[in-house]
Chain A
């Protein structure tokens, strides 16, 4: 029973991670695997430290994160506009529905050959892929959130004689915040993946490139430990955003308000 109690704690994730690392090291050390395919933890760590000190990995990470922040920003604003217009106008709602059903299942990477022709290969193209992967899941969540707002809340807004802008800020957003945060989480994960995939295809289009480019570069020069180092960085950022950024956001809003 005691063991079970440990795994119910919030830090259970880290126990599993340690167990996985141990399993990794044992496999790398004892199993007959090529270090080119399965480097030991020391090699990976050494590659990571080397990239931090001598390389651009931190700058590249910041570059990727910056692109995603911009992409998320654009995506969220666009999604908000489209979702709100859909709530107000049934005609626009059918247009948004059509767009979502066309574009939501379309991976940004599948559009890459076209994007190269339309906007070239620079950061703008990567941004386009990010916005594409952020926008549609965000719209789905936002419209669902807006639709789920109880009628009585909107009536309260009318009672207070809110204008449209006021009712958006005071009624629509807080009442659907759990949907918005869920949408943001999905969009972040989608955007993060899209950005890294796009970087792995375009490379450092002028400048140092992002973390996807780092991994691609390590791959073509057969630095397997470096590839794993890049993947570790991506995992670390993913966990950080999930646990710290979104954790804080939820704690201070929907959990505090008791709407989650």
Chain B
């Protein structure tokens, strides 16, 4: 009997050890932010490199969590291991639709997005049944943009759904350029530019064409818990993102220097991305109502968004 008690006790210890987590106790100035790489997340990197959060909220303890996937960020927020993260609008809406207690705190960036194909394909209609289209994942902004274009061109948002292949941006680029069964790739900066610079590939649809206007590619999202229990940290977070964006817009050269170190890319290349005509860093959130209406109509969402104000925190700018 004693043996069993010991075994049971060991099991309990092992199980509960996994539950240890960094708490955000009210009053304590702590924030856990998902860190992601890429031109679209440039202000996050600037915020980190320049210590903007530390400056705006002295004494703050920041833990930067490495994440490479929106679903992982959502899951980490459900598990209360993350307070803030950056993602596209559709994955945010899916979380909201399923009852997650979070809202958009800030816009972050709009970058060039587009569907790249072999030059033998000139339009969506020319994509045959044998063609495979790589997207980061179903429900991603790339997938929704493709569905929007299919809805407009063919009246059937699901037309190409059975031809999707889920591949991360770098894997998708490799698959496209290697000339295998993947013949199209819906991607974003900087993979988009790299693919377009390769002979034999061109863009047949841009994100803005698919959306029918401009939209925020990445927005910053925080949990209700952070916003309510730690208003000081929340305000500092928002202010720091704003300052980072202003810095990039006012001093692109310096920003490119910081980013080229962080991303291990040539400074001139980063500067070209930052200052591209279609790249815009702004705190204004654009496009939530359009995304949400479309996703409701096509069944990706169950809840209807009556007013964008209900899914963004007060004082956050938005336009539609």
Contacts and interface: CB of A to CB of B under 8 A. Distances in A.
Interface of A: 34-37, 112-113, 116-117, 119-122, 201-208, 216-217, 219-224
Interface in B71-110: 71, 74-75, 78-79, 91, 94-95, 97-100
Contact of B166 (A37, A120, A203): A203
Contacts of A122: 132, 181
Given A37-B79, A117-B174, A220-B137, 12 more contacts: A36-B98, A112-B171, A116-B167, A120-B175, A203-B138, A203-B164, A203-B165, A216-B137, A221-B94, A221-B138, A221-B139, A222-B74
B182 interface: yes
24 contacts: A36-B78, A37-B78, A112-B171, A116-B171, A116-B174, A116-B180, A121-B167, A121-B181, A121-B182, A122-B181, A202-B167, A203-B137, A203-B164, A205-B132, A207-B162, A216-B137, A216-B166, A219-B71, A220-B91, A220-B138, A222-B71, A222-B74, A222-B95, A223-B98
B174 A202 contact: no
* Secondary structure class of chain A's binding surface, majority of residues: loop
B163 interface: yes
A106 B181 CA distance: 26
Contacts of B138: 203, 217, 220-221
Q: Categorize the interface residue count of chain B.
A: 20 to 34
A201 B166 contact: yes
Interface of B: 70-71, 74-75, 78-79, 91, 94-95, 97-100, 132, 134, 137-140, 162-167, 171, 174-175, 178, 180-182, 300
B187 to A, nearest CB: 15
Contacts of B164: 203-204
Shortest 7 CB-CB distances between A and B: which pairs?
A: A120-B180, A203-B166, A120-B181, A222-B98, A220-B139, A36-B78, A121-B165
A107 to B, nearest CB: 16
Given A116-B174, A121-B182, A220-B71, A202 B166 contact: yes
A141 B196 CA distance: 50
A202 B78 contact: no
Nearest to B135: A203
